[in-house]
Amino acid sequence: MAQTGGLVQLASPQGGRLLSLLPPLHVALLHANAILPDMAALAQALADPSRFPQGPPALALISGPSKTADIEGIMIRGVHGPGRLEVVLWS
């Protein structure tokens, strides 16, 4: 998504999200025409029955390394998920 710089990762019943959480580097291949301008465009795309006839899929919005401050209020980065995300665009 252009507005947030986040990567939208769709999941299927066969999986899809788990593998992106394991490696230290996640490389995503993305066609330039797949870039959505904002959250409204994402909502519209997910509601499109021609794209998702069985309803919207589960998804993750990836915008950077994970972080948490659950334990003693101390911020910890990179608890799970890749430490680095690279997006390769082509047109």
- Taking only the tens place, the pLDDT of each residue in 12-60 is 766 666 666 667 788 889 999 999 999 999 999 999 999 889 888 888 8
pLDDT at 55: 85
Say if residue 4's pLDDT is above 70. Answer: yes
What range defines the domain where residue 77 resides? 7-90
- Is residue 65 assigned to a domain? yes
Give pLDDT tens digits for 61-74.
887 777 777 777 88
pLDDT at 17: 61
- Look at the chain and report how many structural domains it folds into: 1
- Is residue 1 assigned to a domain? no
Supply the DSSP string of 9-40, one letter for each residue. EE-BTTB-SHHHHSSSEEEEEEEGGG--SSHH
